[in-house]
Amino acid sequence: MIRILEYHQTADPAHWLAEIAKSDWRAGQYLHRLLTEGGFHARYGAGSRVLLLTEGDELLSFCTYAERDEIADPALTPWAGFVYTFPHARGKRRAGKLLERCYLLAKEEGRSFLYLSTDETGLYEKYGFAFWKAMPELGGRETGVYRMPVVSMDHSGILGARVRGTVDRPLGTAHPRHPEMIYPVNYGYVDGVTGGDGEPQDAYILGPDRPMDTFEGTVVGVIHRLNDCEDKWIVTPDGRVPSREAILEAVEFQEQYFMGELCTP
């Protein structure tokens, strides 16, 4: 099972430090040195965190959520940094789940933006960041600063609504473009409602343990995708609201490849 851990709160930091050391990236080696020497918080802020995307004892990806970055402007905060995915785990947007956690942490703190500095172009845009401006680092070198707005969505007009629709991907069937993905829940679209992509509004139908052709129920959750143009609705036939943990576990098979925020009543 894929989980996100915080390095400084893990039961075995030595193991995860050794995993970080396997990075073939110069910045990753620098992060390893800072953690080894105890200088991470002194440089990036006492509340800064090292986030680890793990599967069992294996490290898939890591990044930091920091009060400061290498940019010479202390007014800008917080920052996502040291974003790295190991070669064997690439191609599945694993880093997006860490950036999702950074976004949610920024939202908890009441921030307006999440910042990121990089020389890469065309990479972080797929995670919801947009180029802001070029700025000097502490050493004087200029780099690009990207930012992602932290927004509050109002789903009050959707949550609790009774809807009906069609199941075009029943439980137990394969994704039409990714046959290795088998739907563990019924998935379809709401009749008469258009989603952000211009197509009928998609919905996960939770509760029934058999394949369905149609559905009717209550919207009990909305997954607001941070790096996509459409949200996903969570519908239960009886109107019961599963726990957040149960919802996230049920939709992880597909949502693991996207950044999102779950909103419930």
- HEC states along the chain? CEEEEEHHHCCCHHHHHHHHCCCCCHHHHHHHHHHHHCCHHHHHCCCCEEEEEEECCEEEEEEEEECCCCECCCCCCCEEEEEEECHHHCCCCHHHHHHHHHHHHHHHCCCCEEEEEECCCCCHHHHCCEEEEEEEECCCCEEEEEEEECCCCCCCCCCCCEEEEEEEECCCCECCCCCCCECCCEEEEEEEEECCCCCEEEEEECCCCCCCCEEEEEEEEEEEECCCCCCEEEEECCCCCCCHHHHHHHHHHHHCCCCEEEECC
pLDDT averaged per 10 residues, the chain (length 265)? 95 97 96 98 97 97 97 93 96 92 97 96 93 92 96 93 97 93 97 91 97 98 91 96 96 93 94
CA-CA distances (angstroms) from residue 26 to 11, 15, 29, 235?
Answer: 26, 20, 5, 46
* pLDDT recorded at residue 127: 93
* pLDDT recorded at residue 140: 85
* pLDDT recorded at residue 1: 81
Q: Is the pTM of this model over 0.85?
A: yes
* pLDDT recorded at residue 131: 97
Domains, the chain, ordered by start? 2-149 (3.40.630.30), 162-263 (3.90.80.10)
* pLDDT recorded at residue 146: 98
* pLDDT recorded at residue 137: 92
